Amino acid sequence: MLSFDEEAGMDVSGRTAVITGGASGIGLATATRLASAGAKLVLADIEQGPLDQAVKQLQGTGAEVLGVLCDVAKLGDVERLRDATVSEFGAAHVVFNNAGVGGGPTIGSPIEMWRWVSSVNLDGVVYGVHVFLPLLMEQDEGHIVNTASLAGLGGVPGMGPYCATKFAVVGLSESLFYDLALRGSKVGVSVLCPGFVRTRIGESGRNMPNDLKGIVPSREPGPLEGAAAAAVAAGIDPSVVAEHVAGAIERSEFWILPHHHVAVRTTEQRLAWMQGGTPATINLAKAARGG
């Protein structure tokens, strides 16, 4: 029988952290937290204006920061991100594959919606792992954090494409954990599964490709979308999530569960359902409060 310990963690001081979706929300909060611990930062984002602002804000604190315009859905962009990182700082140590977008429901979404959500939330993480992991393994030092969600631990109504990508990110991260452990690698991996966090995730449509914008009919949000938006607005502050992410890197812990008891309850309810019980009841407002 094989058993696995989580590796000793990493002191990020003087190390380089690459963060996708680094111009806003969880990415920017984590950049701020890691910079305060002495890390050098590479912020990658698809939005030039907020990216420039975020770089300026962090440089104002004395941090060494590079901003790279990057669409994580494009392999070539992620390869250029790696090259820019190595050319500026010589190495990458922390890779936070965090850029992500919300999407529509399974019922009624055009196939282009599936493709967009999947290209950012899943391909973006795959490319980040594929492009950066060889560097980390070569130096036998580093830590990858992949952003999933509580929606990657249990199905949520109205979010089929999003749930599908987040379950996939949990699966690929767990698989990678075992791959690295079996090789005795010192490279660590974590998966971040937060509940609702007060960010701009509800405005993801701002980054939708133009051809998709032309297809998705503009309409008033339904009751489920309204509840999800209210839950995000009432969610925890991104700085709380950033503290959890930094702690997991420093201690090399796989699961990052800022809403820990919701994650555990969701998993227990799924297990009970698998064993012949009933599906879980869903209360978005309560979940937002961490209940």
Instruction: Note the residues at the interface with ligand NAD (CB under 6 A).
Output: 20-21, 23-27, 45-47, 50, 70-73, 98-101, 120, 147, 149, 194, 196-197, 199-201, 204, 207, 232, 235
Residue 67 vs 188, nearer CB to ligand NAD: 67
Alpha carbons 69 and 77: distance in angstroms, whole number: 8
Catalytic annotation present for 162: yes
Q: Give CA separation, 74 vs 98, 135, 161, in Å.
A: 15, 19, 19
Q: Give the phi and the psi of residue 256 in degrees, each rounded to 5.
A: -115, 110
Instruction: Work out how close the CB of 73 gets to ligand NAD at its nearest, in angstroms, rounded to a whole number.
Output: 5
Instruction: Work out how close the CB of 90 gets to ligand NAD at its nearest, in angstroms, rounded to a whole number.
Output: 24
Residue 72 vs 249, nearer CB to ligand NAD: 72
Instruction: Work out how close the CB of 288 gets to ligand NAD at its nearest, in angstroms, rounded to a whole number.
Output: 8
Instruction: Work out how close the CB of 88 gets to ligand NAD at its nearest, in angstroms, rounded to a whole number.
Output: 18
Alpha carbons 18 and 78: distance in angstroms, whole number: 11
DSSP label of 130: H
Instruction: Work out how close the CB of 112 gets to ligand NAD at its nearest, in angstroms, rounded to a whole number.
Output: 14
Which of 189, 154, 194 has the alpha carbon at shortest distance from 175?
Answer: 189
Which of 1, 6, 16 has the alpha carbon at shortest distance from 181?
Answer: 6
Query: Is 167:118 a contact under the CB 8 Å cutoff?
Result: no
Beta bridge partners of 187: 142
Beta bridge partners of 169: none
Residue 136 vs 156, nearer CB to ligand NAD: 156
Query: What is the number of H-type helices and E-type strands within the chain?
Result: 11, 7
Residue 98 vs 118, nearer CB to ligand NAD: 98
Q: Give CA separation, 231 vs 164, 165, 201, 221, in Å.
A: 20, 21, 11, 14
Residue 100 vs 158, nearer CB to ligand NAD: 100
Say which residues have a Cβ less than 8 Å from residue 183's Cβ, sequence separation at least 6: none
| The one catalytic residue among 89, 96, 116, 162 | 162
Catalytic positions, please? Answer: 162
